[in-house]
Structure 1
Amino acid sequence: MKKRVLVVDDSAFMRKLISDFISASEEMEVVGIARNGEDALVKIKNLSPDVITLDVEMPKMNGIEALKKIMSECPVPVVMLSSTTKEGAEETIKAVQYGAVDFIAKPSGTISLDLHKIQEEIVRKVYTASLVPITKLLGQPSPTVVSPNRKVNHEEIDESALECKTARPMQDIQKPGLIMIGTSTGGPRALQHVLTNLPSSLDAPVAIVQHMPPGFTKSLADRLNSLAVITVKEAEHGELLEKGTAYIAPGGFHMRIMNEESNLMVHLTKEEPPRNGHRPSVDVLFESASTLGSCKKVAVVMTGMGSDGTEGLMKLKETGNVTAIAESHETCIVYGMPKSVIAAKLADEVVNVEGIGQSIMKYMG
């Protein structure tokens, strides 16, 4: 049975283009269109769509206001469409935090005459969103830790690891430790869970690859920085990593972590092609860390489509001194990237998203 889609946009031109793209798919059909948020709420209740495309910038009731009402009154998976303006990026990041499954950046503004450039992305993301159980968007289960080989009671985790402590150097390791996180669809909310559970005394930097187009990662970093006690920022080329700071790879750039004497340094490049369709790529980040020698590492792979991170984690495992944590199926919005890591037998622990911060501290502490 085809997935039922409601297209919401104040532009008749955009509604027509998006509807045509979706209707051309064998897996989906457009069951209705809406001109604004108020219209969308009525149509959702009458048509019961499986998924909605929702424009961020609309009159009467904008996309953010509409999304809040949708998630509270008639929850359904939503994919946001947004311009890449600073305001558009900020609103889009809010939308993902409020329950949107994913977002699509319009290539040239509110009314994009060249929307056909991202036709494949629209179809793929809308269909993927239609498969997400609404329960995963409304709430998450309690933290539980599950090993690929044995079950672990979360009481076994040292909860004192989350308490603030005086920062101290890691014994027997000259270089600082390094925490790496890779994620895609559903990642912004997963990152919020993890980063807000890391203490200000965190004795290592955090390097993050979140699949996002250029123009959105700065807004994501700013929002997460306002919520976490550690510092969160968009990474800059050539900067030295500091303990207690999380660095998010800018959209459109691969990020590597390099040795700079006794320090770790960010290296950004956009000349290289995307890896498996992604730039930044989790594989590129993980592979770069495999050259850091005795540096103690924790690698985390969370919700997202595809298998980005698996090849890089293989390289990391070859060099030893790395612990791999995969997000569990129970809390993943899209169980792709962690599933690939687990299938390759690379995960040391499989953890619900709320418990990942705790697990990181167990291994780094």
Structure 2
Amino acid sequence: MSAGSKTKVLIIDDSAVIRHLLTEILNQADDIEVVGTAQDPIFAKNKVRDLRPDVITLDVEMPRMDGLSFLEELMKTDPIPVVMVSALTQKGCETTLRALELGAIDYITKPSIDVSSGVINLGDEIIKKVRLAAKARVRRKGFECSSVQAAKELSGKKTSHLTTGTLESLSATTDKIIAIGASTGGTQAVTEIITALPESTPGTVIVQHMPPVFTSSFAERLNSISRIDVKEAVSGDRVLRGTALIAPGNHHMTVKRNGAMYYVDIIDGPMVNFVRPSVDVLFRSVAKYAGRNAVGVILTGMGEDGARGMLEMKEAGAFTIAQDEASSVVFGMPKRAIELGAADRVISLDEIAKIILEHA
């Protein structure tokens, strides 16, 4: 997309009402133009080739070919930024999470009641997400990704590729903690990291910007494909070796310490950096209670949530890692952390798990 030109959008949805509403909403933006619509992926294939859209909005459930199959095929052959359109249901969440693993940039949740009014009320969010997708990095994918490999390994004996020396080093520590923060593009990044970690990994706490139903599904999905245990956190959960806790949507998560024991507190409260849960809230608590015994990781995402909290972690003696620009879907949060001098290392996503364990 050249500078100053409009973002060209192709809408794929089997609902004529949704196609009409999305077209009206997106065409209201001066920098966006809907160049075409399609009622299912079969019709869309020729339009993708002929119209060369910058962004695609893609429904999940459609006749003849479902959205996931189309997305997987698209990302293998002709990667284009995709924003999924799904229902805010358990099934919709699971499908959307799979879409994000396959390479979708973001998602829009369709209201379950009064769809027309609900979609119109989401107008600003829809425009924002399409703009963000237009700037995101999308790469051609082979789909034997780390999470799939991990799932295969879990079907047999759980073994780690780490050396004996590394495992012995991990066993010698009792009070380490790993804190991870992510937003747009983060589900894929977090999945790649968590599925690469062994059972002996220090207790891990994660903030991923997501709505409530999504964080529960995300935790269940990660737990099913990881060597470590993963769950959506509740207040009082201990931060234990071999366990990862994910902050529930619409709640902040903090870490506290009682003697040698870390535990989490799930709290309400105002949004921080326009989000809840906030990475900054988590990181600041880790800086306070874990200090030099922590490793902090900030991953792909829009905005600057987590950057100042990571700086506090570094100043408290923690080792800090920022995902590099080349492997980030959106280089917002890591970039701001780097600008503040909060990152000890700036590295590619595929190296982060290894570096975490070296410093845990």
Using the size of structure 2 for normalisation, the TM-score is: 0.88
C-alpha distance in 2 between matches for 1:3 and 1:162: 51
CA deviation vs aligned residue, 1:306-353 (integer Å, no higher than 9, x gap): 1000121233234x2201100011100110000000011111000100
Which of 136, 158, 166 is equivalent to 1:132? 136
- Checking the alignment, whether the CA contact within 8 Å between 1:106 and 1:112 is kept in structure 2 is no
Shift of 1:6: 0.4
Partner of 1:150: none
Distance 1:116 1:260, change over 3 A: farther
Which of 41, 56, 64 is equivalent to 2:45? 41
- Checking the alignment, whether the CA contact within 8 Å between 2:138 and 2:329 is kept in structure 1 is no
Task: List structure 1 runs of 4+ shifted beyond 6 angstroms.
Answer: none
- How is 1:244-259 mapped onto 2 (pairs within 5 angstroms)? 244-259=242-257
Which of 111, 117, 120 is equivalent to 1:116? 120
Using the size of structure 1 for normalisation, the TM-score is: 0.87
Which of 342, 345, 358 is equivalent to 2:341? 345
Distance 1:273 1:167, change over 3 A: same
Aligned-residue identity in percent: 40
CA deviation vs aligned residue, 1:210-253 (integer Å, no higher than 9, x gap): 11112111221122222221112111222112111111111111
- Checking the alignment, whether the CA contact within 8 Å between 2:308 and 2:340 is kept in structure 1 is no
C-alpha distance in 1 between matches for 2:165 and 2:40: 44
Read off the aligned partner of 1:83 and give its amino acid letter: A
C-alpha distance in 2 between matches for 1:306 and 1:295: 26
Partner of 1:301: 298
C-alpha distance in 2 between matches for 1:312 and 1:289: 9
Partner of 1:63: 67
Which of 216, 223, 246 is equivalent to 1:225? 223
Shift of 1:69: 2.3
Partner of 2:322: 326
Partner of 2:207: 209
Give the structure with the larger helix fraction.
2
CA deviation vs aligned residue, 1:19-39 (integer Å, no higher than 9, x gap): 112111122100001111212
C-alpha distance in 2 between matches for 1:291 and 1:348: 18
C-alpha distance in 2 between matches for 1:93 and 1:53: 16
Partner of 1:103: 107
C-alpha distance in 1 between matches for 2:137 and 2:291: 42
Structure 1 unpaired stretches of 5+ = 141-158
C-alpha distance in 1 between matches for 2:342 and 2:13: 43
C-alpha distance in 1 between matches for 2:187 and 2:38: 27
Shift of 1:290: 2.2
C-alpha distance in 2 between matches for 1:192 and 1:222: 12
User: Are 2:88 and 1:92 aligned?
Assistant: no
Distance 1:213 1:112, change over 3 A: farther
CA deviation vs aligned residue, 1:287-313 (integer Å, no higher than 9, x gap): 111221556000000101010001212
- Checking the alignment, whether the CA contact within 8 Å between 2:40 and 2:63 is kept in structure 1 is yes
- Checking the alignment, whether the CA contact within 8 Å between 1:162 and 1:361 is kept in structure 2 is no
Partner of 1:282: 279
Distance 1:163 1:281, change over 3 A: same
Partner of 1:178: 177
- Checking the alignment, whether the CA contact within 8 Å between 2:17 and 2:116 is kept in structure 1 is no
C-alpha distance in 1 between matches for 2:165 and 2:68: 34
Partner of 2:171: 168
- Checking the alignment, whether the CA contact within 8 Å between 2:137 and 2:328 is kept in structure 1 is no
Partner of 2:81: 77
- Checking the alignment, whether the CA contact within 8 Å between 1:37 and 1:65 is kept in structure 2 is no
